[in-house]
Amino acid sequence: MTLTRWYRPEVTAAPFWQLSTLRDEIDRLFEAPLSEFTRASQQFLGGWLPAVDLYEDKDNLVVKAELPGLKKEEIEISLHEGVLTLAGERKHEEEHKDAELHRSERFVGRFQRSITLPSPVLMDKVTAAYKDGMLTVTLPKTEEAKPKQIEVKIN
C-alpha cells in the first residue's frame, strides 16, 4: 500500500495572475534553451560575438565592448546610417605541439557586431579608445537628440 500526500487545490481570486505566471514560465522555458542555441549557432556559423554595453548620458552614447587579446590594429569600427559596426579577428595565439588538448573555450576567428543607435550622433566627433581589452566608443549626440529643459512660465 502506498500513501500519497493530499494537497488542497488553491482557490484564488485572481485567475488572470495565474495565467500571466504560466505565460512567463512558458516564455522562460522556450527562451533559455533557444538563446543558448542561437548563441552557439552564431559562434559556430559566424565566429564569436564580443559582449557589448550601450548606454547614454545627456550628451553622449557610449559603447563598451570586451575585446581581450586583440591589438588595436585588429579592430575595425564603422558608422553608417545610425548603425555602429565593430569587427575584427582574434587569431590563435600558439599551437601546442606534442601536447594533448583537454579544453578549448576561447573563441577565435572573425567577429562582426552591429548596433543600431537609439539617437542621431555627430559622426565627425566620434572617438574610440582601447585599453586592457576594453574598447570604448564615445558618440556625441546631435543637439536635436539632447534632452531640453523647458521653463514653465506663470501667467
Across 5-9, 139-143, 144-148, 149-153, which has the greatest mean pLDDT?
139-143
| CATH number of the domain enclosing 80 | 2.60.40.790
- Classified as helix, coil or strand, 19 is helix
- Pair (38, 59) in one structural domain: no
Does some domain include residue 42?
Answer: yes
- Pair (85, 116) in one structural domain: yes
Does some domain include residue 1?
Answer: no
pTM: 0.64
- Under DSSP, the state recorded for 141 is B
Does some domain include residue 6?
Answer: no
- Pair (38, 82) in one structural domain: no
For 39, residues 6+ apart whose C-beta sits below 8 A from its C-beta are 49
Q: Average pLDDT of 28-56? A: 67
More confident residue, 57 or 45: 57
Q: What is the pLDDT of residues 11-28, one digit of tens each?
A: 555 555 555 666 667 766
Specify the DSSP element, H or E, that contains 41: helix 15-46
- Pair (67, 112) in one structural domain: yes
Q: Report d(CA 20, CA 96) in Å as an integer.
A: 53
Report residue 7's pLDDT band, with 50, 70 and 90 as the boundaries. low
More confident residue, 36 or 123: 123
Does some domain include residue 82?
Answer: yes
In the prediction, which pLDDT does 43 show?
A: 47
Q: Which amino acid, one-letter code, is at 128?
A: A
Q: Report d(CA 9, CA 11) in Å as an integer.
A: 6
More confident residue, 67 or 104: 67
- Pair (83, 66) in one structural domain: yes
- 41: pLDDT strictly greater than 60: no
- Pair (21, 85) in one structural domain: no
Domain enclosing residue 27, as ranges? 16-46
Q: Which cell numbers in the block locate residue 54?
A: 550601450
Quick count: other Cβ atoms within 10 Å of Cβ 121?
20
- Classified as helix, coil or strand, 35 is helix
Domains identified in the chain, total number? 2
- Pair (54, 82) in one structural domain: yes
